[in-house]
A = this chain, B = another copy of it.
Amino acid sequence: MTRKVKIAVIGTGRMGSVHTRNIARLIPEADLVAVCDIRLEVAKTVANELGIRRVVQDYHELLADKDIEAILIATSTNTHAFIMKDVAAAGKHIFCEKPLALELDKIDEALEAVEKAGVKLQVGFNRRFDKSFQQVHQIVASGEIGRPCILRITNRDPDFPAMEFMRVSGGMFLDMTIHDFDMARFQVGEIEEVYATGGVLIEPELKEFGDIDTNVVTLKFANGAVGAIDNSRKAVYGYDQRLEVFCSNGTAMANNEAENTAVKGNPDGFHSAKPPYFFMQRYAPCYVDEVRQFIECVRDDKLTPTTGKDGRAAVVLGYAAGKSLRENRPVKVSEIG
């Protein structure tokens, strides 16, 4: 029997508790030895539920534990970078939730630490692990439908998050479009230039802190392909997650999933179900798969499927889009750094 990878989770809030449950229940390749949260009670609750014996408040305790090979970081964004540096320095492999940080210098410091320590780093771009997006990727990557020409991504949330979160989220491009930037790179390749347009069309309160709720971002790829991402914070018909890679010899699309396959016919026509509500439901299997693959990479010493470079690139693209929107001009990615 293959050995289990000993892992601990730092941060057991919303995403952290999902990862914790997944590791404990659904990833037999991992041995979840400890959970940590500065809110000790939060960590204890999930630990009790799952029968995890070790619960700590200060993550440094975990770093000192020789047995722990890997750490999953799911704390709030502004702590990712310095925890990564500490974890890397302790020689442990890292799975870190996205975004790595909202500041590029922090990201660079963290990535430097990771590189210096020679540990593995995987960034939590869960959507890359979606079976439909993976299928599109395989069709395109196989070359059977020729070279990519046009990428289209529709990414719309079913509703606004809490306004307190919105104010510190980093804004539309760093909180929401960041997933699409990563998906675009996954499906088509490196992006050289972006042009962003959009505004506040639904929720006027956003104007107070300079955010937007609606946008279209145009992409130019290094391979000559072009793309368009559209985002909205509020699609009343549900979490809308579609993409298409149109190629020179065909096209590959991923359509929305549905809560169920029932269709009602009545004198008004045919009526079918909304998509699964929001990311926790829609991408539930991805949260399992991304961590399982991370565990396997640690165990078998393989390259992680998403890297620190990916984590950085998506943030750079977010900044480029923001600059483009403010200055109303296409912005080269190289202008950001």
For residue A251, CB closer than 8 A to chain B, the reply is yes
Chain B CB within 8 A of A147 CB: yes
| Chain A, range 27-47, C-beta contacts under 8 Å to B | 28
Q: Does A76 make an interface contact (CB < 8 A)?
A: no
Cβ-defined contact, B262 with A136, below 8 A: yes
Is A336 an interface residue when CB atoms closer than 8 A count as contact?
no
Give chain B nearest CB distance to A85 CB in angstroms.
35
Question: Which listed segment binds B: A12-20, A52-60, A172-180, A253-261?
Answer: A253-261
Residue of B nearest to A201 (CB): B149
A328 proximity list for chain B (CB < 8 A): 330
A236 contacts chain B at the CB level, 8 A cutoff: yes
Give the Cβ gap from A189 to chain B, nearest Cβ, in Å. 13
Complex Cα distance, B199 from A218, in Å, reads 14
Task: Give the contacts of A4-29 with B (CB-CB under 8 A).
Answer: 25-26, 28
Which residues of chain A from 272 to 290 have a CB within 8 Å of any chain B CB? 272-274
Neighbouring B residues of A144 by C-beta, 8 Å? 266
Contact B237 A224 (CB under 8 A): no
Is the Cβ of B237 less than 8 Å from the Cβ of A218?
A: no
A225 interfacial contact with B, CB 8 Å: yes
Whether A307 is near chain B, meaning CB under 8 Å from some CB there, is: no
* CB of A292 closer than 8 Å to a CB of B: no
Is A267 at the interface (CB under 8 A from chain B)?
Answer: yes
Q: Which bracket fits the contact residues of A?
A: 35 or more
Tell me, rounded to whole Å, the shortest Cβ–Cβ distance linking A174 to chain B: 19
A228 touches B218 (CB 8 A): yes
A230 lies within 8 A of B250 (CB): no
Give the contacting residue for A269; candidates B132, B253, B254, B272; CB below 8 A: B272
A197 to chain B, nearest CB (A): 5
Q: Is the CB of A198 closer than 8 A to any CB of chain B?
A: yes
Which of A67-75, A104-112, A150-158 is the interface stretch?
A150-158
Task: Determine the residue in chain B with the shortest Cβ distance to A130.
Answer: B260
Minimum C-beta distance from A141 to chain B (A): 13
9 A-B residue pairs with CB within 8 Å: A139-B262, A149-B201, A232-B246, A237-B270, A250-B267, A254-B262, A268-B271, A269-B271, A272-B272
Interface residues of A (CB under 8 A from B): 25-26, 28, 49, 51, 131-132, 134-136, 139, 144-145, 147, 149-150, 152, 154, 156, 195, 197-199, 201-202, 214-216, 218, 220, 224-228, 230, 232, 234-238, 240, 246, 248-257, 259-274, 328-330
* Interface contacts beyond A149-B232, A237-B266: sample of 19 additional A-B pairs, CB < 8 Å, sorted by A: A132-B261, A135-B260, A136-B262, A139-B262, A197-B330, A201-B248, A202-B248, A218-B228, A230-B246, A235-B246, A236-B267, A237-B251, A237-B265, A237-B269, A253-B263, A257-B261, A270-B273, A329-B329, A329-B330
